[in-house]
Amino acid sequence: MYKIILSFRYLFRRRISYLALGAVALSVFIVVVVMTVMTGLVGDFKEKNHDFVGDCVVGTQSLVGFSYYEDFMRILEGEDFVESVSCVVRSYGLVSARGSEQSIGVEIIGIDPERHGRVTGFGGTLHFHKDDASKAFEAEYSPSRPGCVVGIDLWLRRDARGEYSYDSRPSATVLSVTCFPLTAKGALAKAGTDLVNTKTFYYSDTSRSGLAKVDSSAVYIPLEDAQELCGMGGPVKRASQLYIKFGDDVKLNAGCSKVARLWKEYAAKRAGDAGAGLLETVSVQSWKGHRREFIAPMEKEHTMVGVMFGLVGVTTVFIVFVVFYMIVSHKSKDIGILKSIGVSEANIVGVFVIFAFWTGLLGSGIGVVLGVAFLRNINTIENQLFEHLGFQLWDRTIYAIGDIPNQTDVGLLAVVVLSAVVSCMLSALLPSRQAAKQEPVEILQVSQL
Amino acid sequence: MSNDDMILKAEGVYKSYRMGPAEVRVLKGVDLAVKKGEFVAIVGASGSGKSTILHILGALDRPDKGVVRFEGRDLSGFGAGELNRFRNRMVGFVFQFYHLLDELNVLENVVLPAMVSATVVGWLGNRKRAKKRAGELLEELGLGERQRHKPYQLSGGERQRVAIGRALMNEPKVLLADEPTGNLDSVTGNGILDVLERLNGRGQTIVMVTHDERIARRASRTITLADGKMR
């Protein structure tokens, strides 16, 4: 009991204890805020990538694509674990507005919007046809002509707050999409002066996926039109990728393994068919694997920030260690007194370890409360700073970030608090053990006072 | 004097300290016996080893050579736990500089030895009784109104009486007082000696160290320590 009482008194009646409390609180505050924002950004970025391609991707990086995909789609759709499949053509081309002499290099993405909406989060990225992807290509001004969906950053500019100024309805703009069609062997499909295919589309909507590269370069057009433009149409149609969505209870790796096995069997069955060589370039990947080149740098950054703030934590542990060393040194007389009334070395260590426990718990509690309060208001604070001082954490005209992520993770908070408490207790262990080993006569003799 | 009457006995106790390169031999074969209920004063010049022998008797320090017996039991045979229990229950220390814990109030300082010897559950069960005893001790020592005060709010004499209360809390068999009046004026010091005499009158065994012969005369027996030996 005296250990609890004494440790409490040391905590609240010694000014130096407030220094330790402050160091722990500040460190926890910084770690909670930075890790929440970073984890939020990484999680948000991953979710957007997941939304972009579905759960699993069967496809090739080749601009030629691969053939016989339709039969494989039917096989997949016959499987219980597959909820939906979307066929995608991806290639590169030029887009120009009618009447404009300017062309922009874009990524052409050919999709069946209804299927694509079932597999990916495409519907949610649209502005005029939000959550109704099936009508994405319905051009309001000319229903007879196919529409196209343009990556938001190709069409509109973000203002400084990160918002786009949409028109009330799609403008009557006709876009010409031009592409070099390729044969199955990768050669140019046309010769002479008519090397390219060009088709015109009415602008029907914009897509805001939140992925900077996609939003600044993608033009979605109907699948058949994309196949025609890219030379993937004809009797044996080709596609670049199949995006697959699994059932809710299907584990990602298990689903991808099943798809890979099915693909292997299918490719083997098709081995003798014309153009089957293209099937060898096809790989089966989870969405994480497929978007690895985009996700990995973000994850690495997250890890680096984690390590950096881990070092901040180590520095704090050292500060707390020094503070405890000073506190224990100042309390050597108390240690002598306690030993003279029969307190054991272990219990003397216990007094200071419990003191460190309270310091860690209270300090990290303060840090967490301040951190969570700050996070809840981080966007308001940033808006205020921007309005009055012109300061923004991320320039919204450059970065595809909306609000700063501020969803606190209880697990993260628990780990941070636990680490702080354990670090404090470990920091107190060494000085208190050293102090407890002192002989009481050495401490209490007149010359030492 | 029969051995049964002896509560504390030191036989051929030697103790030396290292001060830099030199070894200072403080005790050179001290023999001492304290009877139950005695009030013994150990006098000697400064540096004669008075406090050292007191600390050895109370197991705060260990002799280099020799034996210290408490009720016939050799203290050197005590394990760490037994020594802690010995310091907690069998002896009570009163120091020249009071050595109270600044963070605790008067009542808490006095009750501390009882808290130390109890588990949390045991303390919760006994705390009322312990606090009652501490309160009674403080009343007896004239500090009934000062229970909630902090040590820094007390005078030197009052602090020393708190220290005496703490030393008596667990009803120790021996009270060891190291220059209990050394830091007090003569009037206040006499008050403290009155308290010790009163306690001894009720059967409390006391061993007191002092450099002042006049103070030593208040004890029932005086032992002089000179040149590391008892005279």
Q: Judge whether A204 and A128 are in contact, CB under 8 Å.
A: yes
Task: Give the pLDDT score at B106.
Answer: 93
A339-370 tens-digit pLDDT:
888 998 899 999 889 999 999 999 999 999 99
- Mean pLDDT lowest among A19-28, A411-420, A435-444: A435-444
SS3 state at B101: coil
Chain B positions in Cβ-Cβ contact with residue A351 (cut-off 8 Å): none
Q: Does A338 contact B116 at a Cβ distance shorter than 8 Å? A: yes
Range A421-439 average pLDDT: 87
| List of chain B residues whose C-beta atoms are within 8 Å of the C-beta of residue A445 | 51
> Is B121 in the A-facing interface, judged by CB distances under 8 Å?
no
Nearest CA in chain B to A1: B120
pLDDT of residue B218: 86
Across the interface, of A9, A441, A449, the residue whose CB is closest to B97 is: A449
Domain ranges of chain B: 3-230
Of A312, A377, A323, A380, the residue nearest A352 (C-alpha): A323
Q: What is the pLDDT of residues B15-70, one digit of tens each?
A: 988 888 888 888 888 899 999 999 999 998 888 888 889 999 998 888 999 999 99
Structurally, at CATH architecture level, domain B3-230 sits in 3-Layer(aba) Sandwich (3.40)
Phi-psi region of A413 (alpha: psi -120 to 50; beta: other; left: phi over 0): alpha
User: pLDDT of B88-125, one tens digit each?
Assistant: 999 998 888 888 998 899 999 999 999 888 888 888 88
pLDDT greater than 80 at residue A192: no
| Chain A residues touching residue B126 (CB < 8 angstroms) | none
Rounded to an integer, what distance in angstroms lies between the CA atom of residue A434 and that of residue A349? Answer: 9
Question: What band does A398 get if pLDDT is binned at 50, 70 and 90?
Answer: low
Q: Which of A125-129, A178-182, B190-194 has the highest mean pLDDT?
A: A125-129
What confidence score (pLDDT) does residue A63 get? 87
What was the pLDDT predicted at A446?
53
Tens digits of per-residue pLDDT, A80-107? 999 999 999 999 999 998 877 888 999 9
A374 within 8 A of A406, measured Cβ to Cβ:
no
Q: Does A324 touch chain B (CB under 8 A)?
A: no
* A238-276 tens-digit pLDDT: 999 999 999 999 999 999 999 999 999 999 998 888 777
Window 126-155 of B, Cβ < 8 Å to A = 127
Q: How far apart are CA B42 and CA B178, in angstroms?
A: 10
Strand partners, A283: A59
Establish if B226 touches chain A: CB-CB under 8 angstroms.
no
- Read off the pLDDT band of B2 (50, 70, 90): low
- Mark yes or no for CB contact A342/B85 under 8 Å: yes
At residue A449, does pLDDT exceed 50?
no
Query: Chain A: nearest CA to B1, how far in angstroms?
Result: 30
d(CA A362, CA A372): 15
Q: Does A438 touch chain B (CB under 8 A)?
A: no
CB contact under 8 Å between B103 and A6, yes or no, is: yes
CB-CB under 8 Å, A2 with B93: no
Of the candidates B72, B66, B58, the residue with the CA atom closest to the CA atom of residue B29: B66
Encoded tokens for A140: 């309001």
**For residue B3, what pLDDT is reported?**
56
CB contact under 8 A, B87 and A341: yes
CB B56 within 8 A of CB B62: yes
Beta carbons of A39 and A410 less than 8 angstroms apart: no
3-state helix vs strand vs coil in chain B, percent to 5:
40, 30, 30
Least CB–CB distance from A333: residue in B61, B99, B166: B99
A348: closest chain B residue by CA? B116
Q: Are A281 and A60 in contact (CB under 8 A)?
A: yes
CB–CB of A439 and B112 under 8 A? Answer: no
Of A333, A440, A449, the CB nearest to B60: A440
Bridge partners, residue A121, by sequence? none
C-alpha span between A438 and A347 (Å, rounded)? 14
Least confident of A158-162, A420-424, A429-433: A158-162
Give contacts of A440 with chain B, Cβ < 8 Å.
60
Look at B80 and A333 and tell me if their CB atoms are within 8 Å: no
Which chain B residues are Cβ-neighbours of A334 within 8 angstroms? 101, 103
Rounded to the nearest 5°, which phi and psi values hold at B49? Answer: 105, 15
Report pLDDT for A400. Answer: 65
Residue A97 is predicted with a pLDDT of: 85
Contacts of B87 in chain A (CB under 8 A): 339-342
Q: What is the pLDDT of residue B26?
A: 86
Calculate mean pLDDT across residues A136-145. Answer: 80
Query: A390 vs chain B: nearest CA distance in angstroms?
Result: 51
Q: Is B120 in contact with A1 (Cβ distance < 8 A)?
A: yes
Q: Report phi then psi at A64, rounded to 5.
A: -80, -30
Taking the complete model, does pTM exceed 0.80, yes or no? Answer: no
CB nearest B87 (choices: A9, A342, A345): A342
Instruction: Taking residues A143-161, report their average pLDDT.
Output: 84
Check CB contact under 8 Å for A339 and B60.
yes
CB contact under 8 Å between B117 and A342, yes or no, is yes
Number of other CB atoms surrounding residue A332 within 10 Å: 16
- The string of pLDDT tens digits covering residues B208-224 is 998 888 888 888 899 99
Is 80 exceeded by the pLDDT of residue A160?
no
Mutation site for A-interface testing, chosen from B15, B55, B60 by largest number of A Cβ within 10 Å: B60
Cβ–Cβ gap B103/A337 under 8 Å = no
Mean pLDDT of A114-138: 90
Contacts with A5 from chain B: Cβ below 8 Å? 104, 108, 115
Q: Do B88 and A1 touch (CB under 8 A)?
A: no
- Note whether B60 contacts A333, CB cutoff 8 Å: no
- DSSP annotation string for A127-175: STTTT-GGGTT--SS-TTSPEEEEEHHHH--B-TTS-B---SS----EE
Quick one: pLDDT at residue A310? Answer: 82
Q: Are A114 and A271 in contact (CB under 8 A)?
A: no
Contacts of B52 in chain A (CB under 8 A): 441
Pull the structure tokens for residue A23.
Answer: 């160091």
Q: Is A85 helix (H, G, I), strand (E, B) or coil?
A: strand
Helix (H, G, I), strand (E, B) or coil at A87: strand
State whether residue B39 sits within 8 Å of chain A by CB: no
Helix (H, G, I), strand (E, B) or coil at B156: helix
**Percent of chain B scored above 90 by pLDDT?**
26
What residues of chain B lie within 8 A of the CB of A2, using their CB?
112, 115-116
Query: Does A441 lie at the interface with B, CB-CB under 8 angstroms?
Result: yes
| pLDDT, average across residues A394-408 | 76
pLDDT band (50, 70, 90) for residue B192: confident
The answer to whether A5 contacts chain B (CB < 8 Å) is yes
Cβ neighbours for B92, distance < 8 A, ≥ 6 positions apart: B113, B166, B167, B168, B169, B170, B172, B174, B175, B176
Chain A residues touching B51 at Cβ < 8 A: 445
Q: Where are the domains of chain A?
A: 2-46+295-448, 61-281
The partner residue sitting opposite A334, judged by closest CB among B86, B101, B108, is B101
Residues of A in contact with B61 (CB under 8 A): 439, 441
For A61-73, the pLDDT digits (tens) are 888 889 899 999 9
- The verdict on A289 touching B (C-beta cutoff 8 Å) is no
Query: Mean pLDDT across chain A, nearest whole number?
Result: 87
pLDDT given at position A130: 86
Token pair 């939906």 in the structure block, residue: A84
A10 to B103: CB separation less than 8 angstroms, yes or no: yes
How many Cβ contacts (< 8 angstroms) between chains A and B? 74
